[in-house]
Amino acid sequence: MDCIFTKFRQLPRRALAKMESIWKGVSRTCCFCPSRFSSFGARKRSFFCAVRQSTQAARTSRVLGIRMIWTKKTRPTNMAAGSLRTCPACWGKGTFVKYQTRFDANRRVVALEICRHCTVIANVTDLASSLQANDDNYERQKDGSKQFYAVSESEMSHEAVAKQVNARLGMMDFALSEVPVGFKRGAFADLGAGAGYLAGAAARYFDRVYAIDFNTSILQSLHHYFDERDKITISDNVHGISGMDMIVMWHTLEHMPHALDCLKSVQAKLNQCGVVFFQCPMLRPEYVVSTHYVFFSEYAVRVMCERAGFSDVKIWFDMDYDFISCMATKSPSLFDRRKG
């Protein structure tokens, strides 16, 4: 044993005593297997292994009078860094790495990147274009909404609209069955209303309904066909609304270059115990289009909701179409907690 400590003769007595204790321990039992040591070399290797393991709690520390250097863990050098500086779903800085390059639904080549923190997948090709100063996302989404929600002459009648509205009553019943205790059916907003059928269904349950979309031309053309049209207000932005009890965003967040900012704005519009109910597509070849910027996982949705000020997050999956749905309740403010 003396030969082991020859180079440590200058150490304090207490340090030597501690090292002798470690030596006796590794002499009895191997740290990797239950069998006894029979080899002096094996005991020597295990001794230095034990000393190294005792230094992993700090970057630099003095253990037994010996200065040990802790090696910083870094990501693999072969992991290609992404081009996005900030995550639109969690605000993480420098968290994106390359995910894949693929064709979108229109056979365009697009690059996808994934956030290492929240696991959201971003369509970098189109998101970067949208974030440029000379690109107007409002006009791009407005044109996309006009094409996607276009209605024919046969759909512009009381019977056709009533059929579409009735088809969405089941969704409203489900949403209202999941709301928290204390929820009130006062004001409802459909953000990304499209043709407004969900707003028409919500008018049967709520006192005030707001149908909000980038493109209001379709809403305006169908408005007078709704039975509860007096309750429905049409708008192209959320600036004029407040005191909402439920805000629905059905296939809306994936169109937002700053999804977390959008969700935080929604949270500010809600009353206490108000809820947000949204659905987004997950990554699937036909969903990769120029107006879809982000694709969520369950973890990404939970992280984003927490950052936006929501709690009691509930998640559902539509496995036939690869959609993810979420309902989250507005978290009480610090003032409300103290008041309670």
Identify the CATH number of the domain in which residue 168 sits.
Answer: 3.40.50.150
pLDDT score at 38: 47
Confirm whether 138 is domain-assigned.
no
- When divided into structural domains, the chain yields a total of 2
Query: Per the domain annotation, does 102 fall within a domain?
Result: no
Question: How many other β-carbons are positioned within 10 Å of the β-carbon of residue 310?
Answer: 24
Q: What pLDDT, on a 0 to 100 scale, did the predictor assign at position 135? A: 53
Do the beta carbons of residue 310 and residue 331 sit within 8 Å? yes
- 198 with 171: CB under 8 angstroms? yes
Q: Is residue 232 part of a domain?
A: yes
The pLDDT of residue 256 is above 80: yes
Q: How far apart, in whole angstroms, are the C-alpha atoms of residue 26 and residue 24? A: 6
Residue-level pLDDT at 69? 39
Domain end point (choices 18, 46, 69):
69
Q: Are residues 314 and 185 located together in one domain of the fold?
A: yes
The answer to whether residue 217 sits within a structural domain is yes
Together in a domain, 56 and 169: no
Kindly tell me if the per-residue pLDDT of 53 is higher than 50.
yes
- Domain contains 125: no
| Confidence bin at 88 (pLDDT 50/70/90) | very high
Most confidently predicted of 51-55, 67-71, 73-77, 164-168: 164-168
Mean predicted lDDT score pLDDT of the chain: 81
Is residue 314 in a domain? yes
Whether the model pTM is above 0.75: no
Across 32-36, 225-229, 313-317, least confident range: 32-36
**pLDDT (0 to 100) of residue 81:** 72
- How far is Cα 214 from Cα 192, in angstroms, rounded to an integer? 7
* pLDDT for 215: 85
Nearest CA among 78, 15, 26, 72 for reference residue 50: 26
Answer with the residue of higher pLDDT: 83 or 288: 288
The answer to whether position 212 is within a domain reads: yes
Query: What's the pLDDT score for residue 140?
Result: 61
Alpha-carbon distance 291 to 281, whole Å? 12
Domain that holds residue 329: 150-339
Q: Are residues 156 and 58 in the same domain?
A: no
Q: Are 330 and 273 in contact (CB under 8 A)?
A: yes
Please give the pLDDT value at position 223: 93
**Phi, psi for 324 (deg, rounded to 5):** -120, 130
* pLDDT exceeds cutoff 80 at 334: no
Same domain, residue pair 156 and 52? no
Q: CA 233 from chain center: how many Å?
A: 30
Residue 60 sits in the same domain as residue 171: no
The pLDDT of residue 204: 97
Indicate whether 56 and 176 sit together in one domain: no
* End-of-domain residue from the set 69, 91, 109: 69
Identify whether residues 189 and 318 lie together within a single domain: yes
Pick the closest to residue 287 from 99, 83, 106 (CA basis): 106
Q: 307 and 174, same structural domain?
A: yes
Does 132 map to a domain? Answer: no
Q: 72 falls in which pLDDT band (50, 70, 90)?
A: very low
The pLDDT of residue 340:
52
Q: What per-residue confidence (pLDDT) applies to 46?
A: 61
pLDDT at 339 over 90: no
What is the predicted pLDDT for the residue at 317? 98
Residues 198 and 302 in one domain: yes
Choose from 3-12, 231-240, 277-286 the range with maximum mean pLDDT. Answer: 277-286
Burial of residue 315 (CB within 10 Å: 0-12, 13-18, 19+) is middle
Q: Do 179 and 310 belong together in one domain? A: yes
The length of the chain in residues reads: 340
pLDDT tens figures, 111-158 = 999 999 999 999 999 998 888 745 556 566 556 555 555 677 778 899
pLDDT band at 108, cuts 50/70/90?
A: very high
* Domain C-terminal end among 50, 69, 88: 69
The stretch 301-320 carries a mean pLDDT of 97
What proportion of the chain, given as a percentage, has pLDDT over 90? 60
pLDDT higher for 65 or 53? 53
Other beta carbons within 10 Å of 257: 19
